Amino acid sequence: MAAGKKKSETVQLQCTECKRKNYTTVKNKQNTPDKIQLKKFCRFDRKHTLHTEIKISK
């Protein structure tokens, strides 16, 4: 079998207010090449805030 590029990658979502990494998700690099920005609940701030994508360091 030919070794191809992975179409999906695991990313972490970081809160824009407290800068903590709260969520982990998988995204398809082919369909969404830009960074993901989602409004998620931050348990440290106790409110919904904008979370942006950061890569997981290995």
Is 3 among the domain residues? no
Is 4 among the domain residues? no
Is 15 among the domain residues? yes
pLDDT value of residue 1: 55
Identify the residue with better confidence: 19 or 55.
19
pLDDT value of residue 57: 72
If DSSP states are collapsed to H, E and C, what string results for the chain? CCCCCCCEEEEEEEECCCCCEEEEEEEECCCCCCCCEEEEEECCCCEEEEEEEEECCC
CATH code at position 40:
2.20.28.120
pLDDT value of residue 58: 66
Q: Which domain holds residue 45?
A: 9-55
Instruction: Note the pLDDT tens digit of each residue in 21-50.
Output: 999 999 999 999 999 999 999 999 999 999
pTM: 0.79
